[in-house]
Structure 1
């Protein structure tokens, strides 16, 4: 296979984006690519199988290096988390035919980075991009390590039907918490209560007063807030937190397309209520990953967890899937299928 020239479809990033990104900010092209391992490198080349669409990718479309991950390069393929099958490797940790997860380009054939070998496909392969991938691990770390949960706590999860939120809510129910969530459509709200086991849920788009909605669903206050949204939602949550409440900041998707961030007026409640606010990245907690795989796979096998996916079929559908995710059009974990294993 080394030295073989292949047809390689790609999604290129055209230029840095101000405001709302569009599909036209990306370009679908077909090129030729020679599959070569670089001398002196521990290279792994994969046939890309699935690609993940994630909110953090919006940040990589900015011309800014003030982040935990660098911006995309105009004229080059965008990249993100994916699943792939190893076709060439000079890294002794990976062999031809291995199924891996990690960072890879939005193209048919890509170098892989930060790869993890999937030894046991105990669940559908796409789950290893979502429920058993970055999203599920983020939920696990965020809830069990950052939130410091106690049985009987009331936890509120924003963007609760998404790739992370649906797992957080189920972890919290398994742990013994009262779980409240919000989402942006009635279909998603129904999923929260009928499929993911949430005790209460509301459509934030239909609530003229977020403070009133939170008081209705959490009349005794909120012990834990799993933050995915930011802005006005965070401001409303702050006044509804209990004393010694904890806020795990996973993301703030409502702010990603704004050049001027929404002001937060209620930060004084961090003192009044002695709140702990903790931003986190799953990549800082890799020590807990073996425990995560063991527990979550077992819970799925026992029927204690479910997962909803929204899978677009074909690399050319990638830009629409990513832009749809940022606009909240997806239902469940958004990914793109490129090829069968």
Structure 2
């Protein structure tokens, strides 16, 4: 089914969407999701219809599958999930977003999105750069790394920085941005020998280790003989405990995620060395990037030249087809991606 767009072409009128069928207990399974095809209504004044090009799957989405209070409402059972997406306007009744405009929005987990134009933001495409970058290094992923280092951890020139999940989308950005901001030494953890090599050889970390080889608490001190000043935490659990052992006086922790416990069915015990927070005068501060969007312009001004000059590199793992979005999400949760995981929908 199609409908005429403003330029005489045709636009899809059916949206293939991924719905949350049931709330997972522990690790999600394909049975927790359903694929639904929805007939879209005619556009009302001031609305747009967008053919998504890429949609994002991210660790935080696992938390939204649980019921309970959080910084964003949980996904509703029986309804389409949401998340970052980039696409092209294919039908419009909004003068500000004509057909052909590339837009960024939060109606992910579907191949076609529709709604009021206010929910879509026009972006300027970058020659030679995939639109998926707006979901990664030029979007929330990169901004998360920037905010965590600058606002939350107050990085200083000469700092030693430890990053957990260093081969992931956020982690790889953190290490590279830290270097550009004057870090003396950057250390990362990853989940395989191949990823450890990637972190050091491609992303320029000074050192990295495979957290599966031996306890993090044993490995981290070997790579941080002079301690750590900033810890960017994507994992929590044993990584946070190890960092608390080696953080220097006035050390700062930017708590971004806790992927180690997203799929647990029992309460995770806390670190046994919390007293170090007092002894060393440490600061631990959690954050979500949605409360710091005012820094996006400053970040993009800094990142643009770094990308252009090759001082920052970025990778992504692409899964084709909205019907495989769940596969991509589960693979990302298992750590099978390199860099940002995105679903290509057209």
Alignment of 1:23-62 (within 5 A): 23-29=30-36, 31-38=37-44, 42-62=46-66
Distance in 1, matches of 2:228 and 2:98, equals 48
Distance in 1 between the 2:110 and 2:217 partners? Answer: 44
The CA deviation at 1:89 is: 4.0
TM-score by length of 1: 0.93
Partner Cα distance (1:287, 1:264) in 2: 34
Q: Does 1:98 align with 2:101?
A: yes
How much does 1:95 deviate? 2.6
Q: Pick from 78, 83, 87: which aligns with 1:84?
A: 87
**1:230 alignment partner, one of 225, 236, 247:** 236
Matched, 1:7 2:11: no
Q: Paired residue for 1:319?
A: 326
Deviations 1:246-281 (A, max 9, x none): 000111110111231232221111110001111111
Match of 1:165 among 166, 171, 175: 171
2:305 alignment counterpart: 298
Report if aligned partners of 2:15, 2:40 keep a CA contact under 8 Å in 1. Answer: no
Listed as ranges, the matches of 1:72-151 within 5 Å are: 72-91=75-94, 93-111=96-114, 114-122=119-127, 123-151=129-157
Q: Structure 2 length as normaliser, TM-score?
A: 0.91
The size of the alignment, in residue pairs, is 334
CA distance in structure 1 between the aligned counterparts of 2:161 and 2:82, rounded to whole angstroms: 33
CA distance in 1, matches of 2:233, 2:107: 27
In 2, Cα distance between the equivalents of 1:44 and 1:6?
12
From 327, 332, 337, the equivalent of 1:330 is 337
Going from structure 1 to structure 2, the CA distance change for 1:32 and 1:67 (only over 3 Å counts) comes to closer
CA contact (8 A) 2:56 2:108 kept: no
Per the alignment, residue 284 of structure 2 pairs with 277
Structure 1 residue ranges without an equivalent (≥5): none
The more displaced of 165-174 and 7-16 is 7-16
1:93: how far off? Answer: 4.0
Distance across 2 between alignment mates of 1:223 and 1:124: 35
Q: Is the 8 A contact 1:44 1:90 kept in 2?
A: yes
The Cα shift of 1:111 comes to 2.8
**Could you tell me how far 1:316 is from its partner in structure 2?**
1.2
Contact 2:189 2:209 in 1 (8 A): yes
| 1:193 is the counterpart of 2:200 | yes
Secondary structure of the corresponding residue to residue 74 of structure 2 = coil
Shift, 1:114, TM fit: 4.5
Seen in structure 2, the aligned counterparts of structure 1 residues 109 and 179 have a Cα distance that, compared at 3 Å, is same
More displaced stretch, 104-113 vs 9-18 = 104-113
In structure 2, relative to structure 1, the CA distance for the partners of 1:36 and 1:105 (3 Å cut) is farther
Unaligned runs of 5+ in 2: 6-10
2:82–2:109 contact (8 Å) kept in structure 1? yes
TM alignment of 1:171-190, pairs within 5 A: 171-177=177-183, 178-190=185-197
Secondary structure of the structure 1 residue equivalent to 2:198:
helix
